[in-house]
Structure 1
Amino acid sequence: MSQTEEPDNAAVRGVRRIELRTTNPTAAAEHYEDLLGWSLLFSGDGSVGGWVGDRLATVLRPAGDQPTGWHVVFGGSESRTLTGPDGVTASVDTGRPQHGPWAPRPRHGEPCWVELSTGSDDHDQYWTGQLGWRVHHPEVPGEQRFALFGADPTGEDVHRPVAGRMREADPAGAAWICYFAVADVAAAAKLATELGGTVAFGPAELPAGLVATVTDPLGGRYALLQDPTGWGGNWSI
């Protein structure tokens, strides 16, 4: 099956879009524009779209009475909102996924992975059950923190991860983390600090690849992944 083909099954197989809920979408968008080279499209409702060429990277929305942070909208056959046992939300929307293991290779500035950061793996069953996934525990020496959620389409004997879960010893709170592809993670992390962000981790090698995690000037936490060959970096097949 080619990279752009989709499996014929009910499992959610990719990300429709990624949203950042923030107190100031314009200020946040300017941070990511300068860092990742986005083209910005402003809407009358206060939201800002960040584009890489002809593909939507993310939508930044006013948080209002909702928690700030990333909200992942997966592509599926039925629109609905999900709230996990730990309070983390996600949505499913109809339409073709724009990002994921069957989409084109992520370009600089585009989302290249989504990961649930949590202090427990007790809720894996909720997400896999709701989204038709199976959970896969990768064989990484010395690492038991990671799990991969993905689709096992008919006719394939491989696991294609759509999202990940990382168990943290002292999490700031369960949340989705969005990873963005960059050509040089060290240079991007340095630029992020010059733009008012704070590097919380790295750059360092993780199973997904060379990663840095950053907090933007308004408190949004994201990750940078160097030159991923596919969705999820080294997690991709």
Structure 2
Amino acid sequence: MPTPEITPGAPCWIDLMTTDSNQAKQFYGELFGWDFQTGDQEKYGGYITATKNGKNVAGIMQKMEDQAAMPDTWSVYLRTDDVAATAAAATASGGQVHMEPMDVPEQGKMAILGDASGAAVGAWQPQEMRGFDLVAEPGAAAWHELHTNDYAAAVKFYQDVFGWNTDVMSDTPEFRYTTLGSGRDAKAGIYDATSDLPAGVPSNWVVYFAVEDADASIDKAVSLGATLVDGPDDTPFGRLATLTDPTGARFKLIADTGQGNAADAGTGGQGAL
């Protein structure tokens, strides 16, 4: 599969903040067939890049002592051509800046933002590191979805801050869903999870990973220390499950049935969190 074209505003990278990077490497390496390269400690803080068949798919970061109280989590980064302007727009649009724009030597510039519904999201301005080399293939991210408890505010935030050209997939009291782009060109989704988010759980981004066989992957993940949270469920576009890894980071698995694309698979997540 050719390197995906990543347009401004679209998901371009994911990484895992974890309490145990060695355990994370063992778990995801076994589950997805990932290999790993650790960056220079002085320049990159020992940031770990995961590859699948030699192609960049994700990153892993060991939590620092002052981050111990934060839950282990997967983060989504959206591409921007000007991270400083994006951070300023986030503040002006009802969000906040959790981490000010900073240089990652030779690789790019980044910031961590809070959107208008309270979800954390990364912004990445690429230089040498362009983002994903592989998507929607087994062992790689297939879909990125915001579960929000303030749907209208979230949709407007991503339109105003990241320039999303949105398409309303559904707008009923039972299921509200908006995508970045439409149809087979959709890149990400926003799901109104007001009725599904447990009390105290903030809006959050969710990563779907593609697998060939959902049930076999679930069994393998559980044998490696994961917990099955929800599913597996058959949807019109694939077999879907929600899990947490051995240290509690949540993610989804989706096995494509060939009836739709990765964007379609995101619609199967209603109520799954």
Please give the range of the TM-score, normalised by the shorter of the 2 chains: 0.7 to 0.9
Which stretch of structure 1 is more off in the superposition, 139-148 or 215-224? Answer: 139-148
Letter in 2 for 1:176: W
1:155 aligned partner: none
C-alpha contact (below 8 Å) 1:161/1:235 kept by paired residues: no
| Aligned pairs for 1:132-171 within 5 A | 132-139=163-170, 144-150=175-181, 160-168=185-193, 169-171=195-197
What value does the CA root-mean-square deviation take over the aligned residues? 3.1
| Aligned pairs for 1:220-235 within 5 A | 220-227=249-256, 230-234=261-265
1:70 aligned partner: 74
Runs (4 or more) in structure 1 with deviation over 6 Å come to none
Correspondence for 1:79 among 80, 83, 96: 83
User: C-alpha distance in 1, partners of 2:184/2:160?
Assistant: 16
1:128 aligned partner: 159
Which stretch of structure 1 is more off in the superposition, 72-81 or 54-63? Answer: 72-81
| Aligned pairs for 1:143-222 within 5 A | 144-150=175-181, 160-168=185-193, 169-171=195-197, 172-206=201-235, 209-222=238-251
Larger Rg: 2
The total of aligned residue pairs comes to 222
Deviation at 1:119, TM superposition (A): 2.7
2:33 aligned partner: 37
Q: Which runs of 5+ in 2 are unaligned?
A: 85-110, 268-273
Query: Cα 1:5–1:119, aligned 2, differ >3 Å: closer, same or farther?
Result: closer
1:50 aligned partner: 50
C-alpha contact (below 8 Å) 1:201/1:212 kept by paired residues: yes
Query: Cα 1:225–1:175, aligned 2, differ >3 Å: closer, same or farther?
Result: same
Give aligned-pair identity as a percent. 24
Q: Which runs of 5+ in 1 are unaligned?
A: 153-157
SS of alignment partner, residue 13 of structure 2: strand
SS of alignment partner, residue 32 of structure 1: helix
Query: Cα 1:119–1:194, aligned 2, differ >3 Å: closer, same or farther?
Result: same
Structure with a larger share of its residues in helix: 2
2:87 aligned partner: none
